[in-house]
Structure 1
């Protein structure tokens, strides 16, 4: 094998490239660990009376003079849910984790899962939350906040909540 001064042998170069590629490629364990992490931190525990059960909120974007929108990541423990409410400017829910429930007044409960997109029309009473056995996280986008925000109503009763089980 011919050698060249001040150069790396072909074997050494190959070993370097293979090693570098292995360092840049995540292991299967790393990929599984990252997929188990949530998209956003859980945020602060909600302590108001607009929810039943344990709920956490992480405000991501709040309305300002340029953007008529507020965005929050909301995590519901199993069985947790919002009260009945409506949004004067509408709302969009993007389910990022788990399994949950959504219901508009007078309509059946819908099961929503990771990847679901729910458009809540303006001024339509609805509620949403986790199933009894699963937690659920969604990104809640309050749209057209210049029209007005959420109007909170009565709690969803246990009887109303359990209607999806029938």
Structure 2
């Protein structure tokens, strides 16, 4: 057993990965041979990732607030606490907070010596974020 006390400072999400104010807390980065990492990501209202993809997939688990997510070519989906979203390997997507609500999610990723954890792409435009096809299931 290894207990890591809360000593890692919250990191501001870099502008080349996010639009708006985003804060990241490291949760897990297990040593090899594990390939798993997890981060608690706090999106302020309107903040979002850029388009990106994960060679080995990504799961996000919403813990607070109301968020939005979209896979390339699909509708913008509303996500709420308790919702779990699996983005398939190499599926281009984005996720973030609703325009008027913050959203916090746990992002779980895999990486290894042959696969980067994430490939960042272009920012999500305001029109893409507004998504006329939004679904609120």
TM-score bracket for the superposition, by shorter chain length: 0.7 to 0.9
Structure 1 unaligned regions, length at least 5: 1-40
Q: How far did residue 83 of structure 1 move? A: 0.1
1:106 aligns with 2:73: yes
1:60-71 residue pairs with structure 2 within 5 A?
60-71=27-38
Aligned residue number for residue 131 of structure 2: 163
The DSSP-based 3-state class of the residue aligned with 1:97 is strand
Distance 2:46 2:34 in 1: 33
Distance 1:68 1:150 in 2: 13
Structure 2 unaligned regions, length at least 5: 1-7
Distance 1:156 1:78 in 2: 15
Distance 2:74 2:119 in 1: 19
TM-score (norm 1): 0.71
TM-score (norm 2): 0.85
Aligned residue number for residue 3 of structure 2: none
Q: Higher helix fraction: Structure 1 or Structure 2? A: 1
How many residues align? The count is 125
The DSSP-based 3-state class of the residue aligned with 2:128 is helix
1:1-150 residue pairs with structure 2 within 5 A?
43-143=10-110, 145-146=111-112, 147-150=115-118
Distance 1:42 1:98 in 2: 22
Give deviations 1:126-163, integer Å, cap 9, x for gaps: 000000000000000003x1233100000000010011
Q: CA RMSD in A?
A: 1.8
Q: Which has the larger radius of gyration?
A: 1
Q: How far did residue 164 of structure 1 move? A: 4.7
The DSSP-based 3-state class of the residue aligned with 1:115 is coil
Q: Higher strand fraction: Structure 1 or Structure 2? A: 2
